[in-house]
Structure 1
Amino acid sequence: MLVWEGLTATPALAQREPVLVPAVSQSRIEVRQGFTGARLLLYGAVIDPAGAGSRGEDYDIVVVLKGPSEAVRIREKERIAGIWANAESSDFRSAPAFFAVASSRPVSEIVDERTAAIYELGTEFIQLSPSGEIDPEEQARFAKGLVELRQRQGLYQEDPGGVRIAEKVLYQARINLPSNVTTGRYTAETFAIARGRVLASATARIEVVKAGLEGQVVTAAQRWSFLYGLGAIGLSLMMGWIAGRLFARG
C-alpha cells in the first residue's frame, strides 16, 4: 500500500503494473449561503514501471466521483379518476447522493460490461442495493427512474471524453458539483486501464461541508440536539404568540 499525502493508491501488481498518483484541486468544499456549485479538477500522473525512458503504454483513464450514500424511496405516480396519486414504490438502501464518471473515451470502448459493472464505470452500473421483495424487472425500472431523475437534477453525470491525457503520463478531468449537492464525504476513484483490464486504481477524498451561519446551525443541532430541539419549540411558540397578538389587534 502506497500513500501520498492522505491519498491511497493500490497498484494491481507491484512493480510490474503502473502506479497512479492522484490529486484534487479542492479537498474541502464549503457550502455557504448563495452557493452556486463548484468545479473540481481531478488530475495526476500514471507512473510506468518500465521507467521514464520507456515507450510506455497507451492507458485509458476513468474517474468516478461518488457522494455519500443514502436510503431512497422511489414512488410511482398514477392517474386515478383524474387525480395523480402515489402507486407502487421501491426502496434502495445505499444510493449515492452524487455520481459522476469522466473517461478518456466512451467506457464501452475501454472495458466490457462485466468489468464496468464491477467498478461502477457508468450510471447504469451504480450499485443501488435495493431492499424488500419486488419483481426484478420492476426493480430495474425503478432503478432506471431514479437515475434519470438525478440526471435531470445534475446529480448523476457521465462525460465520455472528459479526461485528457498528455504524453501518456499526465491526466486531468473536470467535474461540476451543482448547487443542490449533498454535504458529506466524497470519494474520487481513478482507474488506469489497458487492453480491457484495470491495471491500477487510486482514491482521493473530498469533504463537502456547510459553512457560515448554516454550518453553525447544523453543528449546534448535532452537538446539542436536545437543547436545539427545545430552542426550536420555544421559537415556534413565540412566533405563534406574536402572530396571534398581531391578528388580535387587527
Structure 2
Amino acid sequence: MLRWLAILVALALPASAEEVVLGMSQDKVAITANFDGSEILIFGAVKREEAIPEGDPLQVIVAIQGPSEPITVRRKEKRFGIWVNTQSVDVDAAPSFYAVATSAPFDEVLSSTEDLRYKISIPSAIRSVGAPMTVQDSQSFTDAVIRVRKANSLFQLNEGSVEFSQDTLFKTSIAMPANLTEGAYRTRIYLTRSGVVVSEYETEIDVRKVGLERWLYTLSRQQPLIYGLLSLAIAIFSGWAASAIFTGLRRG
C-alpha cells in the first residue's frame, strides 16, 4: 500500500512569482524477493504571490533519474556466418532509470537552450565524452542505449501525462519497473513558460533492497567467496532434490 507523504516547500526564488509546492505518494521503494515494480504518484500546486500572468500557459515537467553508470556499447556484424563484435564505444554515464513526464509535447514545454542548461531530455541525460576515431557514427551507439532501455521500460518519455488544471494543480504517476538499481533517484520538477524554466524543485526517492534480497546483495559484495560457496551448495542441493523427486515418481 502506498504511504502518502506530503512535502510542502516554499522556494526562495525572488526573480519568480510562481513556485512549486510538491507532494509524493512515497519517497522510498523497497525491493523484495517478490517485487514486481512500483508506481510513484507525484502531485502538487503552484504557489503565487500575485495573479496568474496572461499570455503563454504554465507547463510542468517531472523527471526521475536513477543512479548513472558507465556502459560499453558494442556493435555486432555477421562475418563468415558468425555474429562478432566489430566496434565498441564507452558511454561515460547513462542513468539506470530515467523517466520524464510533461503536461504537453516536450518541444512545446522546453526550449532546446533550456534543455542544454538543465539536461532534462533523455539524450541529454547520457554523458559520452568521445568515441574512437575509427567510429564514424558514434551517436548511433547512444541511440542504441536509449532504444534498448526504452524497450525495457527503463527510459520513459510520457508527453502530456501530467494533468494540470487551471494553471495551479498538477499530478502525474511514474511507473517504475521491477529491474531497478539500488540508490538515490533524483526527482526534479520544473515549471516552464514559453519554454523557459521559471521555477524548479528537487528531491530524492530512495530505492533499496530489503530482507533476504538485502542480505544476499550485501553478502555478494562483502564476502564473495562465502556467497559463491553458498550458491554452489544451493545448486548442488537443488539438483539432488530434483533427482530424488524424479526417482521417487518413477518408482511410484
Shared fold, TM over 0.5: yes
- Residue 216 of structure 1 aligns to a residue whose secondary structure is helix
1:210 aligns with 2:205: no
1:125 equivalent in structure 2: 124
Q: 1:151 to 1:183 in 2, by over 3 A?
A: same
- 8 Å CA contact 1:39–1:176 kept in 2: the answer is yes
User: Which deviates more, 17-26 or 186-195?
Assistant: 17-26
| TM-score, length of structure 2 as denominator length | 0.81
Show the counterpart of 1:169: 168
1:49 aligned residue:
49
Distance 1:153 1:233, change over 3 A: closer
Match of 2:91 in 1: 92
Q: Decide whether aligned partners of structure 1 residues 239 and 156 sit closer, same or farther in structure 2, where only a CA change above 3 A counts.
A: closer
TM-score (norm 1): 0.82
Matches of 1:186 and 1:218 in 2, distance apart? Answer: 19
Counterparts of 2:15 and 2:227 in 1: how far apart (Å)? Answer: 59
Deviation (angstroms), 1:229: 2.8
Q: Supply the AA of the counterpart residue of 2:143.
A: K
**Where do 1:1-250 residues align within 5 Å?**
13-14=13-14, 16-50=16-50, 54-56=51-53, 58-131=57-130, 133-134=132-133, 138-222=137-221, 225=222, 228-235=223-230
Shift of 1:46: 1.2
Distance in 2 of aligned mates of 1:176 and 1:156: 11
- Determine the C-alpha separation between the residues in 2 that align with 1:137 and 1:17: 47
Aligned-partner SS, 1:93: strand
Alpha-carbon offset, residue 204 of structure 1: 1.7
> Aligned partners of 1:138 and 1:28: how far apart in 2?
40
Q: Which ranges of 4 or more aligned residues in structure 1 deviate by more than 6 Å?
A: 5-9, 239-243
Aligned CA-pair RMSD = 2.9
Classify 1:7/1:182 alpha carbon distance in 2 versus 1 (closer, same or farther; 3 Å). Answer: farther
Contact conserved, 2:102 with 2:109, CA < 8 A, in 1? no
Matching residue's letter, 1:185: A
Tell me, in whole angstroms, the C-alpha distance in 2 between the residues paired with 1:210 and 1:241.
26
Count of aligned residue pairs for this structure pair: 234
Q: Quick one: higher RCO (CA 8 Å, sep 6+), 1 or 2? A: 1
Contact 2:16/2:199 (CA < 8 Å) preserved in 1? no
Q: Does the 8 A contact of 2:131 with 2:138 survive in 1?
A: no
* Ranges in structure 2 where 5+ consecutive residues have no aligned partner: 1-5, 241-252
Deviation at 1:98, TM superposition (A): 0.6
Residue identity (%): 28
Structure-1 separation of matches of 2:143 and 2:8: 33
Deviation of the 1:218 alpha carbon: 1.9
Residue pair 1:38, 1:177 contacting (<8 A) in 2 also: yes
Aligned partners of 1:19 and 1:49 also within 8 Å: no
**Letter aligned with residue 88 of structure 1:** Q
Deviations 1:72-103 (A, max 9, x none): 11111110101111110111121100111100
Partner of 1:248: none
